[in-house]
C-alpha cells in the first residue's frame, strides 16, 4: 500500500470526512491534557468579570485538564458549525434566532460518536460538549487548528470568520493531532474594541461580561443598570456588534445553511415590533413561541425587561400604550423597566 493510500484511509481523515458529512463546517483534532488558557480564565473569574455566572466556578480542575471530564479520554474532535453571519443584523443576535444550537450540535456529535464506535467495532468511551460543561472549547479549537482568539474574544477562522458554534467530542481513542493555530491575524485592527457601545473590553481579548450587552440581556437576572440601558439601543437579546465590524466577518462570513437556525416568525420585524410582541406575551404564549429556542434562557421576565428597555430607546408615541399595560406586569422587574421606558419617551 502506498503512503498516499494509507494516508487517505487514516482514521483521522475518516473522522473528518464523517464530520463534514454531518454538516459541520470545521473539524480538527487535538490531544487532551493541561489547558494553556486555564490561568487566564481563572484570572478573569477572580477579576469579577464573570458577574452572576457562578456556574463558571464549577469544575475548575476539569477545565484546567481536559482529560478529566471523560476518564480515559485522550483526544478531542473539535467541530465548528456556521450559523449565518451574512444574515441581516437585528434585535436578536443571529445565533439565537432559530432552534437551540445545543440540541442541534449535540445530536450530531452523538451521531459522530456512534459512527466511530461502529468503525472501531467496539464501544468507545466519549462524550460531546457544546457550551455545557467544564471545557475550554475555544482553547481546544485553537489547539485543533480552527482559528485564533480575536481581540473580541471570539475564535476567528480565516475561511469563515467567527459566526460559528464550537463543539467537542472527547474520546478514549488516540488520534493524531492537527497543528495548532499559532498566528494572530488581528494585527493592529481594533474595530471590535472601538465599536462596543458599552466599552465592555478591558483590553484586547479581555471582556468585562458585566458590561456586555449579551450578558445584560441574557445572563443578568435583575435590573439592567440604568447607566447601561440607553446603550442597549434596539437589542432585545444578545449582541453581534463586535462581530459585525470584524474585517474577517465582513469578507468571509457565510450564508446560513442550517435550516434549524433560520429566524422564527415570532422574531420578524424591527426592534419595536419584536419588543411589542414580547411584552404582550404571558407565560403560556412565551413557552409556546420559544419552545426549543435558546432565547428561553432569559425567561419571559428577562425578555420582557429587555423589550421594555428597547422601547424606551427606540419607541415612539405609538408604543406608550404597550408600556402602560406593562406597568401591571406580574413581574416587578418588567414593570420597573416599563416605567423607565415611559420616562425616557417622555423626555
Tens of pLDDT, residues 25-35: 999 999 999 99
Q: How many angstroms separate the Cα of 78 from the Cα of each of 24, 114, 143, 240, 304? A: 10, 16, 9, 23, 36
Predicted confidence at residue 347, as pLDDT, reads: 85
Predicted confidence at residue 308, as pLDDT, reads: 98
Mean pLDDT of the chain: 96
Predicted confidence at residue 9, as pLDDT, reads: 59
Handedness of CA 221, 223, 226, 230 (dihedral sign): positive
C-beta separation of 232 from 337 below 8 A: no
C-beta separation of 216 from 305 below 8 A: no
Largest CA distance in the chain: 79
Beta strands in 200-304 (DSSP E): 201-203, 206-207
List pLDDT tens digits, range 78-135: 999 999 999 999 999 999 999 999 999 999 999 999 999 999 999 999 999 999 899 9
Predicted confidence at residue 6, as pLDDT, reads: 43
Report how far residue 17's alpha carbon sits from residue 31's, in angstroms, rounded to the nearest whole number.
Answer: 19
Predicted confidence at residue 2, as pLDDT, reads: 43
pTM here? 0.95
Beta strands in the chain (DSSP E): 26-31, 75-82, 126-129, 148-149, 155-156, 164-171, 201-203, 206-207
- Tens of pLDDT, residue by residue, the chain (347 residues): 344 444 445 999 999 999 999 999 999 999 999 999 999 999 999 999 999 999 999 999 999 999 999 999 999 999 999 999 999 999 999 999 999 999 999 999 999 999 999 999 999 999 999 998 999 999 999 999 999 999 999 999 999 999 999 999 999 999 999 999 999 999 999 999 999 999 999 999 999 999 999 999 999 999 999 999 999 999 999 999 999 999 999 999 999 999 999 999 999 999 999 999 999 999 999 999 999 999 999 999 999 999 999 999 999 999 999 999 999 999 999 999 999 999 999 98
C-beta separation of 79 from 27 below 8 A: yes
List pLDDT tens digits, range 255-282: 999 999 999 999 999 999 999 999 999 9
Q: Among all residues, which ones are annotated catalytic?
A: 131
Q: In what order do the strands lie in the sheet with 26-31?
A: 26-31, 75-82, 164-171, 126-129
Burial (CB < 10 A; 0-12, 13-18, 19+), residue 265, is exposed
Report how far residue 106's alpha carbon sits from residue 109's, in angstroms, rounded to the nearest whole number.
Answer: 5
Amino acid at each position: 500500500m502506498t503512503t498516499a493510500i494509507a494516508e487517505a484511509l487514516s482514521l483521522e481523515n475518516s473522522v473528518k470526512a464523517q464530520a463534514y458529512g454531518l454538516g459541520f463546517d470545521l473539524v480538527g483534532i487535538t490531544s487532551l491534557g493541561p489547558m494553556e488558557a486555564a490561568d487566564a480564565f481563572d484570572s478573569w473569574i477572580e477579576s469579577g468579570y464573570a458577574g452572576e455566572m457562578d456556574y463558571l466556578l464549577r469544575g475548575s480542575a476539569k477545565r484546567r485538564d481536559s482529560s478529566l471530564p471523560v476518564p480515559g479520554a485522550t483526544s478531542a474532535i473539535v467541530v465548528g458549525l456556521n450559523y449565518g453571519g451574512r444574515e441581516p443584523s437585528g434585535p436578536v443576535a443571529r445565533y439565537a434566532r432559530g432552534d437551540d444550537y445545543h440540541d442541534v450540535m449535540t445530536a450530531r456529535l452523538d451521531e459522530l460518536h456512534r459512527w466511530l464506535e461502529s468503525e472501531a467495532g467496539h464501544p468507545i468511551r466519549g462524550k460531546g460538549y457544546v457550551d455545557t460543561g467544564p471545557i475550554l472549547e475555544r482553547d481546544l479549537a485553537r489547539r485543533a487548528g480552527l482559528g485564533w482568539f480575536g481581540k473580541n474574544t471570539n475564535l476567528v477562522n480565516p475561511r469563515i470568520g467567527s459566526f460559528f458554534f464550537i463543539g467537542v467530542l472527547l474520546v478514549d481513542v488516540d488520534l493524531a493531532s492537527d497543528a495548532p493555530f499559532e498566528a494572530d491575524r488581528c494585527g493592529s485592527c481594533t474595530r471590535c474594541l472601538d465599536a462596543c457601545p458599552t466599552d465592555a473590553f478591558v483590553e484586547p481579548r479581555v471582556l468585562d461580561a458585566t458590561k456586555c450587552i449579551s450578558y445584560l440581556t441574557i445572563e443578568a437576572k435583575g435590573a439592567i443598570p440604568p447607566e447601561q440601558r440607553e446603550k442597549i439601543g434596539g437589542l432585545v437579546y444578545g449582541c453581534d456588534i463586535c462581530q459585525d465590524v470584524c474585517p474577517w466577518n465582513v469578507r468571509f462570513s457565510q450564508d446560513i445553511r442550517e435550516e434549524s437556525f433560520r429566524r422564527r416568525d415570532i422574531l420578524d420585524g424591527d426592534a419595536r415590533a419584536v419588543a411589542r410582541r414580547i411584552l404582550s406575551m404571558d407565560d403560556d404564549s412565551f413557552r409556546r413561541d420559544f419552545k426549543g429556542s435558546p432565547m428561553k434562557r432569559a425567561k419571559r421576565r428577562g425578555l420582557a425587561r429587555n423589550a421594555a428597555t428597547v422601547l424606551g430607546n427606540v419607541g415612539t408615541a405609538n408604543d406608550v400604550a404597550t408600556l402602560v399595560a406593562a406597568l401591571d406586569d406580574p413581574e416587578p422587574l418588567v414593570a420597573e423597566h416599563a416605567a423607565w421606558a415611559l420616562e425616557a419617551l417622555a423626555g
